[in-house]
Copies of this chain bind each other. A is one copy, B any other.
């Protein structure tokens, strides 16, 4: 199984353990002339629901050799996805799923903290091995 799918499935199982119902996997998102699901290189989105709350989750592994490159792309995708969601399905909240090890290191850097705050990014911190959610940050 490609590494990307391992992380994707880890988040999916973690959400299920946490009581979420996976409603779309992958979530196909298109809006305003852009079919974002045709971006095959990108990680796929998951849609989930619990107690009437609807979320979409962009899953990142951060296993590439350049964490900053991966962060550039994750951030751009997040903003494009969130913008599309806000127009199509404004009640659905977008989360970026980040492995705990990456959150404890790269995400503690000053620049990354400022960007997360300025852009109001919601994070879901997960343990890819135990397949559990460690923290929700809104």
Given contacts A31-B111, A36-B68, A38-B68, 4 further A-B contacts (CB under 8 A): A71-B80, A73-B76, A75-B79, A83-B115
Query: DSSP class of A's interface residues: helix, strand, loop or mixed?
Result: helix
Once bound together, how far apart are the Cα atoms of A39 and B64, in whole Å?
A: 12
- In the complex, 6 of the A-B residue pairs with CB atoms within 8 angstroms, ordered by the A residue number, are A31-B110, A32-B110, A32-B112, A33-B109, A33-B110, A75-B80
Contact check: which of B41, B111, B113 meets A80 at CB < 8 Å? Answer: B111
Tell me whether A33 and B111 are in contact (CB under 8 A).
Answer: yes
Once bound together, how far apart are the Cα atoms of A118 and B39, in whole Å?
A: 22
Shortest distance in angstroms between A73's beta carbon and chain B's nearest beta carbon?
5
Once bound together, how far apart are the Cα atoms of A109 and B40, in whole Å?
A: 20
From 53 to 111 in chain A, residues with beta carbon under 8 angstroms from any chain B beta carbon are: 66, 68-69, 71-77, 79-80, 83-84, 87, 109-111
